[in-house]
């Protein structure tokens, strides 16, 4: 490997722009060496500022010996085949969430990365969201007491793109909002609370143009016995947002990325005003961007420092296992144990 990590981006769609921004901020550590997209003109546009090479077939990019790391930002159903091929070429791989379509595919990628002795993980920005990092510190301090109830929500709108068939989110080959957004929630519940023991889910298709679920409710128990409830929706007409409520025996923490302030601690039922967490700034349009920038930068640094990335790929695998259990619950109409 050269002095800088040489990166090839496969997929020049929307999310790849935020990945690109992260790399350009640390151009002393890495360089954007190649772009690949089936739209050759788009790939040329993205590559031009960096004098990067252009490919229209990912196999050709993977065969390039000058590429050290591959960043995969394509529709979900393509994650596993492209990531697997990249790992087998001895490339370090960062793949957008979900890691794969099934937990078996995700495990295949983890084992292949181990066998090839390369760095690999899923691009899970949840761990780099400032509000969630502060929530971890509050939980570790025991400020909230015994946790009784946790509620999460990830919501925004893909409605117009689904109606115009301009988005692959509503397509059957990519499943639906549960796989697209639910993996964030289940990663968060694993990270902060040790995971869940059971799940019952209900799926809705509110847009007739959608081929899959676009609104999902799920609930069950956390590892410590507390109750959780989550909502995933891509038919909510607000800026994309996330909400986390943690309710304990001595207080509650409410996180809402559209609220100002976005994170407030309530010390019991008489604390009407609550206490904002000053470490969490109000950035309704930037919180997601900043966390994605941080996630890609951590992966580059992990390669250089020869350490594990901050995002454990086993957590990405776990999140897909929970999604599979949720879909089983939807089919069978009952709670599923994990």
Span 84-123, pLDDT tens digits: 999 999 999 999 999 999 999 999 999 999 999 999 999 9
pLDDT for 174: 73
User: 333 exposed, middle or buried (CB, 10 Å; 0-12, 13-18, 19+)?
Assistant: exposed
Residues of the chain with CATH 3.30.360.10: 127-289+320-337
Residues of the chain with CATH 3.40.50.720: 5-123
Measure the CA–CA gap between 40 and 119, rounded to whole angstroms. 29
Is pLDDT of 2 > 70?
no
Q: What does the pLDDT look like over 204-245, one tens digit per residue?
A: 999 988 888 999 999 999 999 999 999 999 999 999 999 999
pLDDT for 159: 86
pLDDT for 171: 75
Domain at 127-289+320-337, CATH from 3.90.230.10, 3.30.360.10, 3.40.1010.10, 3.40.950.10: 3.30.360.10
What the block records as the tokens of 317 is 């695998």
**C-beta of residue 6 within 8 angstroms of C-beta of residue 33:** yes
pLDDT for 167: 62
Least confident of 165-174, 238-247, 259-268: 165-174
Share of the chain above pLDDT 70, in %: 98
Q: How many helices (H) and strands (E) does the chain have?
A: 10, 15
**Three-state secondary-structure class, residue 75:** coil
pTM: 0.95
Determine the average pLDDT of the residues in 63-85. 97
**Mean pLDDT for the chain overall:** 95
Q: What does the pLDDT look like over 271-295, one tens digit per residue?
A: 999 999 999 999 998 999 999 999 9
pLDDT for 170: 66
As a CATH number, domain 5-123 is 3.40.50.720
Measure the CA–CA gap between 64 and 20, rounded to whole angstroms. 20
Cβ neighbors of 68 (< 8 A, separation 6 or more) are 1, 2, 5, 6, 7, 91, 92, 303
Determine if the peptide bond prior to 98 is cis (ω within 30°): yes
Confidence bin at 158 (pLDDT 50/70/90): confident
**C-beta of residue 215 within 8 angstroms of C-beta of residue 170:** no
């Amino acid at each position: 490997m050269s002095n800088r990590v040489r990166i090839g981006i496969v997929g020049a769609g929307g999310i790849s722009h935020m990945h690109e921004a992260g790399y350009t901020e640390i151009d002393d550590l890495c360089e954007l060496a190649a772009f690949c997209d089936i739209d050759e003109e788009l790939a040329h546009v993205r590559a031009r500022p960096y004098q990067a090479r252009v490919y229209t077939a990912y196999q050709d990019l993977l065969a390039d010996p000058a590429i050290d790391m591959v960043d995969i930002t394509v529709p979900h159903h393509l994650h596993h085949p492209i990531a697997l091929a990249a790992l087998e070429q001895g490339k370090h791989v960062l793949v957008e969430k979900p890691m794969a379509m099934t937990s078996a595919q995700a495990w295949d990628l983890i084992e292949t990365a181990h066998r090839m002795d390369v760095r690999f993980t899923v691009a899970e920005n949840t761990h780099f969201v400032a509000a969630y990092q502060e929530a971890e510190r509050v939980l570790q301090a025991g400020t909230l007491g015994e946790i009784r109830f946790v509620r999460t929500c990830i919501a925004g709108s893909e409605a117009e793109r689904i109606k115009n068939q301009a988005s692959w989110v509503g397509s059957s080959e990519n499943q639906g909002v549960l796989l697209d957004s639910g993996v964030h929630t289940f990663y968060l519940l694993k990270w902060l609370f040790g995971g869940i023991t059971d799940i019952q889910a209900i799926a809705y298709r509110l847009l007739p143009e959608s081929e899959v679920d676009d609104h999902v409710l799920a609930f069950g128990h956390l590892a410590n016995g507390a109750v959780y409830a989550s909502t995933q929706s891509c038919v909510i007409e607000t800026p994309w947002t996330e909400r986390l409520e943690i309710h304990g025996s001595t207080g509650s923490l409410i996180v809402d990325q559209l609220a100002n302030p976005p994170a407030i601690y309530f010390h019991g039922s008489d604390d009407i005003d609550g206490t904002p967490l000053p470490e969490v700034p109000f950035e309704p349009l930037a919180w997601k961007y900043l966390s994605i920038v941080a996630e890609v930068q951590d992966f580059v640094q992990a390669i250089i420092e020869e350490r594990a990335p901050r995002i454990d790929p086993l957590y990405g695998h776990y999140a897909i296992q929970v999604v599979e259990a949720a879909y089983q619950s939807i089919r069978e109409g009952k709670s599923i144990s994990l």
